[in-house]
């Protein structure tokens, strides 16, 4: 087996690595296949959804508290300031579906503002985290029916039976500018599937980060304390932990820059030297300076986002922006 000292072999030991071939469960095998596929491209890449293991989720929560990372506090302030107005547009007794559930801090703000929502369906890919947060929320809101759904919300959603035909208006909630992780085409596709899920009369409340001064943007993704760097580097640490890989995490560095032409922050891991990483019997060679693309975070002008939503059949009902023009909330009406 490669990577193991050849005890009973006369072959010379060229290089000792920590690479272990592990027996993988189904989820880990999907992760492994994605990693192998992504690292086999001319521009190596890893999907940003893999940032969020336990450690990555903790680091992301830390990012959200950084001075430089303005989106979280700005969006939270918008929800607080305009909660009543938003609730007025949404109306009473709705079924609320949250796409991707973080700490549910913003969710609580919205639920508190709403007039007795009847059902809350948080959808997330990370089962443990989702069930834990949903349980806590259900305890805090004993009158609210909480029905968590473990699913990858980038694919079509199968909603709980209860929601079908109970007549309640469906409202989607997608805070945090996670829409920024999709390129424009995928964003339209995602919005179309949301519109289908919500159905006629449905509404969608979505947070969207705005185009702004490049320095502000870059600082938000390359903070002085290096939390975002640790968050980015964690994805190769996760490959080591879960797939038995032997990435030398200290031989990579974080890079973030704003691609003005594409209107997006791009994040990379840069190899600091010529090196090879091994994962489940696959070898990935890096030249010095070679990169792994790990994330795109698209930024929008208000009208630009409105046009994108319109392509997916949504009509903008109202948009809210903070005084500094940093972040926006959009309430959209599904009109299939
Ligand atoms: C969770 C996608 C909204 O793009 O700002 C934060 C993720 N990456 N810092 C973002 C992220 C680096 C974040 N989203």
Quickly list DSSP for 85-134.
HHHHHH-SS-EEEEES-SSSHHHHHHHHHSS--SEEEEEES-HHHHHHHH
Which amino acid residue places its CA nearest to atom 13 of ligand 1?
178
* pLDDT in the model for residue 4: 45
Question: Predicted confidence band at 1 (pLDDT cuts at 50, 70, 90)?
Answer: very low
| Span from the CA of 178 to the centroid of ligand 1 (angstroms) | 7
Tokens 């709403």 found at:
114
Per-residue pLDDT of 266-307, as tens digits, reads: 999 999 999 999 999 999 999 999 999 999 999 999 999 999
| Span from the CA of 296 to the centroid of ligand 1 (angstroms) | 9
For the entire predicted model, the pTM comes to 0.92
Say if strands 291-298 and 145-146 run parallel, antiparallel, or are unpaired: unpaired
Per-residue pLDDT of 35-87, as tens digits, reads: 999 999 999 999 999 999 989 989 999 999 999 999 999 999 999 999 999 99
Answer yes or no: is the C-beta of 181 below 6 A from any ligand 1 atom: yes
Give me 80's structure tokens. 């607080």
Question: Predicted confidence band at 18 (pLDDT cuts at 50, 70, 90)?
Answer: low
Exposed/middle/buried for residue 236 (C-beta within 10 Å: 0-12, 13-18, 19+): buried
Q: What is the mean pLDDT of residues 14-32?
A: 80
* pLDDT in the model for residue 336: 56
Stronger pLDDT, 321 or 102, i.e. the higher one: 321
| Span from the CA of 330 to the centroid of ligand 1 (angstroms) | 18
Residues above pLDDT 70, as percent of the chain: 92
Question: Predicted confidence band at 17 (pLDDT cuts at 50, 70, 90)?
Answer: low
* pLDDT in the model for residue 282: 97
Per-residue pLDDT of 77-126, as tens digits, reads: 999 999 999 999 999 999 999 998 777 889 999 999 998 899 999 998 88
* pLDDT in the model for residue 8: 47
Q: Is the pLDDT of residue 2 over 50?
A: no
Q: Which residues contact 82 (CB under 8 A, 6 or more apart)?
A: 320, 329
Give me 82's structure tokens. 């305009």
Answer yes or no: is the C-beta of 271 below 6 A from any ligand 1 atom: no
* pLDDT in the model for residue 221: 98
Which amino acid residue places its CA nearest to atom 2 of ligand 1?
178
The answer to which of 20-34, 154-168, 227-241 has the lowest mean pLDDT is: 154-168
Answer yes or no: is the C-beta of 107 below 6 A from any ligand 1 atom: no
* pLDDT in the model for residue 7: 42
């Amino acid at each position: 087996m490669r990577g193991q000292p050849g005890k009973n072999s006369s072959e010379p030991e060229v290089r000792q690595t920590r690479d272990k071939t592990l027996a993988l469960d189904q989820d880990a095998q999907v992760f492994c296949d994605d990693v192998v596929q992504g690292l086999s491209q001319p521009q190596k890449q890893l999907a940003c959804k893999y940032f969020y293991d336990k450690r990555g989720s903790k680091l992301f929560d830390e990012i959200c508290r950084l001075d430089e990372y303005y989106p979280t506090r700005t969006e939270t302030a918008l929800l607080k300031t305009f909660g009543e107005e938003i609730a007025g547009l949404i109306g009473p007794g709705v079924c609320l579906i949250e796409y991707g559930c973080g700490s549910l801090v913003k969710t609580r703000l919205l639920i508190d503002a709403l007039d007795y929502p009847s059902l809350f369906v948080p959808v997330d890919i990370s089962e443990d985290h989702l069930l834990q947060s949903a349980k806590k929320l259900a305890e805090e809101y004993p009158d609210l029916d909480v029905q968590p759904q473990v699913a990858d919300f980038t694919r079509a959603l199968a909603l709980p039976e209860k929601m079908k035909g109970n007549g309640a208006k469906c409202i989607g909630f997608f805070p945090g500018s996670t829409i920024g992780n999709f390129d424009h085409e995928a964003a339209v596709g995602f919005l179309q599937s949301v519109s289908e899920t919500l159905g006629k009369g449905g509404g969608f409340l979505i947070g969207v980060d705005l185009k702004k001064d490049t320095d502000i943007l870059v600082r938000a993704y390359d903070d002085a304390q290096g939390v975002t760097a640790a968050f980015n580097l964690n994805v190769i640490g996760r490959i080591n932990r879960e797939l038995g890989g032997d990435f030398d995490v200290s031989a990579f560095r974080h890079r973030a820059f704003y691609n003005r032409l594409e209107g997006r922050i791009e994040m990379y891991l840069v190899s600091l030297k010529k090196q090879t990483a091994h994962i489940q019997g696959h070898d990935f060679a890096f030249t010095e300076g070679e990169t792994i693309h790990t994330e795109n975070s698209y930024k929008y002008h208000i009208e630009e986002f409105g046009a994108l939503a319109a392509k997916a059949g949504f009509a903008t009902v109202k948009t809210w922006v903070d005084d500094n023009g940093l972040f926006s909330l959009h309430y959209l009406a599904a009109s299939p």
